[in-house]
């Protein structure tokens, strides 16, 4: 049995009454809401913007922190990887040996060999001890030029050993070790600088320089500078160094020091040719230009002497080697047979052996008949040795020609041999003090 649907109809009047029923809709009472002002809206917007900016800054800081942490982790990872690689490499031998003995044992051996070792701690460099023993000690009677030279060596020592990095007391201790006892007395007594005084080596050297300067009148140094001349055997460099030291001690005017030094060199050099060349230069040369010319001239003269000496030796050897073989000799004088009608020098001469004419005693046919008896020679002079016996007639004295090509060499000495008519040596005179000043040029 089917039931039919039931329909409930509502009248339109009721619907209208329900729609317009005031009790069905709540009535809102109270003041009507108003809109916010523009200033409040701007403040709210600014506050929101500031909040957003702060949040963005915090985010950036967090990102930077994460980046730094990532870099640190990367560095740590690399270090760990290097340590692990080193450990594995060190234990590779053990692992291989274990593997040869057995599979499992090999693995255990390899693992045991890979033991990590912590990195060695960095070595802290030790400070080097100051040792001024290599410096020549500063003497109490030092002159101003030598004091300045010594100060230059001390400055080099200070630079090489980084003296400024040491405490002040160690610097002064090293400085006092470099002084000899007499200079230490000067520093402590004359200058009143005790080891307990707070000072530096440079300050002490300044006071020592003032002390040495006060002991010697500067006029003496200036006179010595003006009177300095090059010695007979002194090289130019030695002369120039000495002149520079005298100029420093004389405390020359800085404006005219170069001109005065140049003038002093020109007036003091020994070589006249170099001096003439310097005087011919115009305008007036500088000190360095004069020094260069003097050095080059001295070097040129020295090289010329060396070359000339070698040429002279070569010329003598050439003449000795190129002498022709002697031909038949003359029966009267003993020389090579005369040619081209040259007269014999023995013609018209008397023999010293037999008294005969037209021949010399070496070619005398009667020479053996005149035997000298035991004779006693007379004479005087240094290391003379004569035979004993009666008097004999001295035939002649022959002195070989002497030649000197260079005046700057030592004067040669000769030995004199005295012979009789039979060319027997009667005496020999070796006199080293007998010098020959006049030469027979060949």
Of 215, 249, 270, the residue that ends a domain is 215
> Is residue 310's pLDDT more than 80?
no
Q: What whole-number distance in Å separates Cα of residue 261 and Cα of residue 243?
A: 8
Q: How many CB atoms sit inside 10 A of residue 155's CB?
A: 14
The verdict on 236 and 286 lying in the same domain is: yes
Q: What whole-number distance in Å separates Cα of residue 106 and Cα of residue 406?
A: 95
Higher pLDDT, 315 or 242: 242
Predicted local distance difference test score (pLDDT) of residue 413 = 62
> Is residue 71's pLDDT more than 60?
yes
Lowest mean pLDDT among 287-296, 353-362, 371-380: 371-380
DSSP structural state of residue 189? I
Predicted local distance difference test score (pLDDT) of residue 180 = 92
Of 278, 304, 330, the residue that ends a domain is 304
Burial of 145 (0-12, 13-18, 19+ CB in 10 A): middle
The verdict on 175 and 227 lying in the same domain is: no
Is residue 417 one of the residues assigned to a domain? Answer: no
Is residue 407 one of the residues assigned to a domain? Answer: no
Q: Find the domain containing 236 and state its range.
A: 218-304
> Is residue 392's pLDDT more than 80?
no
Higher pLDDT, 208 or 113: 208
pLDDT tens digits, one per residue of 118-129:
566 555 556 678
Joined together, the tokens standing for residue 350 give 């008397």
The DSSP string of 51-73 is: HHHHHHHHHHHHHHHHHHHHHHH
DSSP structural state of residue 275? H
Identify whether the C-beta of residue 125 lies closer than 8 Å to the C-beta of residue 169.
no
The verdict on 242 and 290 lying in the same domain is: yes
How many domains is the chain built from? 2
Predicted local distance difference test score (pLDDT) of residue 175 = 92
Query: Confidence band (pLDDT; 50, 70, 90) for 63?
Result: confident
Is residue 244 one of the residues assigned to a domain? Answer: yes
Is residue 160 one of the residues assigned to a domain? Answer: yes
Is residue 236 one of the residues assigned to a domain? Answer: yes
The verdict on 194 and 235 lying in the same domain is: no
Identify the CATH number of the domain in which residue 254 sits.
1.10.1200.30
Of 200, 215, 230, the residue that ends a domain is 215
Nearest one of 357, 323, 327, 322 to 339, comparing CA atoms: 327
Q: What whole-number distance in Å separates Cα of residue 162 and Cα of residue 365?
A: 96
Is residue 29 one of the residues assigned to a domain? Answer: no
Tokens 């020295």: give the residue.
302
Q: What whole-number distance in Å separates Cα of residue 165 and Cα of residue 161?
A: 9
Predicted local distance difference test score (pLDDT) of residue 292 = 94
The verdict on 192 and 229 lying in the same domain is: no
Is residue 300 one of the residues assigned to a domain? Answer: yes
Is residue 94 one of the residues assigned to a domain? Answer: no
């Amino acid at each position: 049995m089917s039931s039919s649907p039931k329909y409930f109809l509502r009248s339109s009047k009721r619907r209208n009454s329900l729609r317009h029923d005031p009790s069905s809709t709540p009535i809102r009472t109270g003041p009507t809401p108003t809109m916010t002002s523009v200033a409040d809206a701007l403040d709210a917007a600014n506050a929101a913007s500031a909040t957003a900016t702060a949040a963005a800054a915090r985010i950036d800081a967090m990102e930077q922190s994460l980046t730094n942490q990532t870099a640190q982790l990367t560095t740590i990872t690399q270090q760990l990887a290097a340590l692990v690689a080193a450990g594995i490499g060190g234990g590779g031998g053990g692992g291989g040996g274990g593997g040869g003995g057995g599979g499992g044992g090999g693995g255990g051996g390899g693992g045991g060999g890979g033991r990590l070792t912590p990195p060695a701690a960095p070595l802290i460099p030790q400070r080097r001890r100051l040792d001024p023993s290599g410096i020549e000690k500063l003497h109490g009677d030092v002159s101003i030029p030598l004091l300045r030279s010594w100060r230059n060596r001390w400055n080099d020592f200070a630079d090489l050993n980084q003296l400024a990095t040491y405490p002040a007391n160690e610097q002064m201790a090293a400085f006092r070790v470099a002084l000899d006892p007499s200079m230490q007395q000067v520093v402590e007594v004359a200058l009143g600088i005790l080891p307990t005084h707070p000072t530096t080596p440079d300050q002490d050297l300044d006071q020592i320089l003032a002390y040495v300067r006060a002991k010697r009148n500067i006029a003496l140094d200036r006179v010595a500078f003006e009177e300095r001349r090059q010695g007979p055997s002194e090289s130019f460099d030695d002369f120039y160094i000495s002149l520079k030291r005298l100029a420093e001690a004389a405390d020359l005017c800085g404006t005219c020091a170069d001109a005065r030094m140049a003038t002093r060199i020109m007036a003091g050099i020994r070589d006249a040719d170099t001096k003439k060349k310097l005087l011919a230069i115009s305008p007036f040369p500088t000190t360095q230009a004069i020094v260069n010319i003097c050095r080059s001239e001295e070097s040129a003269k020295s090289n010329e002497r060396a070359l000339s000496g070698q040429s002279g030796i070569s010329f003598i050897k050439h003449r000795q080697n190129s002498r022709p073989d002697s031909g038949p000799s003359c029966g009267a004088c003993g020389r090579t047979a005369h040619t081209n009608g040259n007269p014999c020098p023995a013609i018209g001469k008397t023999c010293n052996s037999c008294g005969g004419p037209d021949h010399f005693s070496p070619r005398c046919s009667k020479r053996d008949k005149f035997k000298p008896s035991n004779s006693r020679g007379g004479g005087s002079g240094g290391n003379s040795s004569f035979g004993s016996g009666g008097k004999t007639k001295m035939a002649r004295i022959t002195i070989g020609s002497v030649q000197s090509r260079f005046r700057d060499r030592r004067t040669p000495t000769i030995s004199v041999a005295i012979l009789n008519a039979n060319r027997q040596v009667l005496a020999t005179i070796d006199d080293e003090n007998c010098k020959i000043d006049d030469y027979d040029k060949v």
